[in-house]
Structure 1
Amino acid sequence: MKNILLASFAVILSLFTNLLQAQTDHEEHADHINYVVLTRSVPQLKPILLAAEELAAQDGEKFGEFQVVVCGKAVQDLTNKEMMNGFLQKAEKAGVIINACGFSLKKFNVKRSGLPETLRVVENGILHNFELQKKGYLSIEL
């Protein structure tokens, strides 16, 4: 009986600790509005970057981080310097982080060395999106 009570107390304490941690994570991001967009089309970067600029203007000091995750076959276009140059310049100016999905890179045989240096690679774009959502990021998929 004593072991059951101790085990029950440990489970309740663990759940309470996890709940407090989740609340703390949310509060850390509550003072800023953060965004993440998952896209399967590089040309979609144009309206995404325009939206980021407009949200930054609307949000003012509350504007936080804006990330884009490029997944699927679109990762092949990320190696096209001519296509990407304008997007990357605009993203840098707007403070937008562009990520490439590592799973997609592998699936479509795109070498990381062929990507622009300013691009980040996340191992799993969908998981990265969910992790950011759990931190309070507003999310949309295009």
Structure 2
Amino acid sequence: RLAGPSRGTGDAADLQPVTQEPQAESDTTPSAFSVPISDLPPLSDELILGLLAKDSSSRADNAAILEYFNEHPDLAERSAFCKHCYKQFYTYLFVDDHTVGFIRHDMYLELWEGNYLTKTAQVNLTWDAVAAKIADLIEQGRL
């Protein structure tokens, strides 16, 4: 008879449990409810407002936004509308001779200056913040 491969003695002493200590959540790890924060300087408020006011095929047109905001004064309704009127496309526009862009995420709208891969400034706005800024634009007559 040929000897088969060894399978150990089968003693419980041969078995060593493998355990790992749970990793502590770092301060930089974003939770599911937070908006990631960039190391870049914040995008200027004037560029944010200019970008939000600019018509684009990547979101509902200004007339539709204006009509919805006039009919729905509730911030929660406006926030939900804003979330669904932006498409999830990388969009580049020119505002005051600056290249700026945006993309929709589930929890926020990411806005930046420059090229997406070489941003010079960035801000991530919650949908409530987007709705509030659009309401400001409407009040100023800029949308």
Q: What TM-score range do you get, normalising by the shorter chain?
A: under 0.3
Greater Rg over alpha carbons, structure: 2
TM-score between both structures, scaled by the size of structure 1: 0.25
Higher helix share: 1
